Amino acid sequence: MKWFLGLLLIVFLLLGSFLLAPSPVDSKAWEAPPPPALTGKLAPNERLKLADLLAQGQVYGPEDTTVSPDGVVYSGTQDGKIVRVWPDGRVENWLDTGGRPLGLVFDAGGNLIVADAWKGLVSIAPDKSMTTLALESEGLPFRFTDDVDIAPDGRIYFSDASSRFEQPDYVLDLLEMRPHGRLLRYDPDTGRTETLVRNLHFANGVAVSPEGNYVLVNETWKYRILRYWISGPKAGQAEVFADNLPGFPDNLAVDEAGRYWVAFPTLRNPQVDAMHRKPWLKDLVAKLPDGFQPKPEEYGLVLAFDASGNVITSLHDTRGTHLQEITSVNPHDGHLYFGSLHNDRIGRLPLRAIPDLGESQE
């Protein structure tokens, strides 16, 4: 009997310590809209299983990709490296940033512009020399530099997903549900960085329109995409481009036909949506070990939108056995390239394999 009372005492002490310990988040309530039905153009299919797999088993976490003019695929991996995948299939560890390279894009001078979660906005010259372009805006340091794109005029648009939580703690940012994200712009001519949109719920993927008159940015935790007008009558204004998406939107990119491709690491999570109504519960969950916190469903999903925010088509891997946790989709030379936060491969799918795109797919 004494051992049982002793065990109860230990349990009560542990439970009391857990309940009284401060939470790493200060959660806010949010009422998520009911998720859209996966019907019509959102209906599940297995088109992602048609993709070729590049560098399978030779990379880990190729979160974003970009392709050089000579057809070499560049990607940043979980261990801080930027790898190159050559057309013959050879994989080369090209450079180590010492951080976590996320968004990638080449500028007109052949420099690789990198949104590095730890290092900020970085430029890497062909000779591998690295230059830090920006680490803060308005005195507020970047804590989670995420995605990047370049406008026709050479100005660089990028996102700081969270000014409070760093990359390993993205789930805490989700649970807290407070707007710590920003859309930013860097001018190479002046070296100046400015904040364009503040108070975003996890500012993620960035894509500038082909004409350079607006930029899209994903607001991941709110399941939506915003459009910020660079020029025209609405210059300086932000509006909703696409809302109530079926999953968590990550990186996005635009192709030559003006279609916007959006990657989704996972579908909506009913438990997360329900928790958002109860800040006290989220504060408790945030104190649990990582193994007890929300996990992404093993699913592959990519959507394409037209310039008005209408869904054109969807690509799925319903079991996530071929491509899952897709964090980027980049069009290049008639193909789509798929990156992933934790997978060990890069996907490549020809646009001609997607029947919904019509005659403009090439």
Specify the CATH number for the domain of residue 314. Answer: 2.120.10.30
Domain contains 64: yes
Domain that holds residue 188: 43-354
Distances in Å between the Cα of 174 and the Cα atoms of 83, 162, 164 are 30, 10, 12
> According to the model, what pLDDT value does residue 293 have?
78
Strands (E), 178-333: 181-187, 192-200, 203-208, 214-219, 224-229, 238-242, 252-254, 260-264, 300-305, 311-317, 326-332
> According to the model, what pLDDT value does residue 295 have?
84
Domain contains 2: no
> CA dihedral defined by 237, 183, 302, 101, rounded to 10 degrees?
160
Domain contains 359: no
Domain contains 73: yes
Domain contains 162: yes
Q: Model-level pTM greater than 0.85?
A: yes
Angle ∠(153,156,159) on CA atoms, nearest 5: 145
**Positive or negative torsion for Cα 158, 199, 189, 227:** positive
What's the rounded Cα separation, in Å, for the pair 1 and 161? Answer: 54
> According to the model, what pLDDT value does residue 296 have?
86
Give the length of the chain.
362
Domain contains 123: yes
What's the rounded Cα separation, in Å, for the pair 78 and 52? Answer: 22
> According to the model, what pLDDT value does residue 49 have?
98
CB 213 within 8 A of CB 232: yes
What's the rounded Cα separation, in Å, for the pair 136 and 191? Answer: 12
Instruction: Profile the chain (362 residues) by mean pLDDT over runs of 10 residues.
Output: 44 42 93 97 98 97 96 97 96 97 97 98 98 98 98 98 96 97 98 98 98 98 98 98 98 97 97 96 93 86 98 97 97 97 96 78 42
Domain contains 20: no
Number of domains, the chain? 1
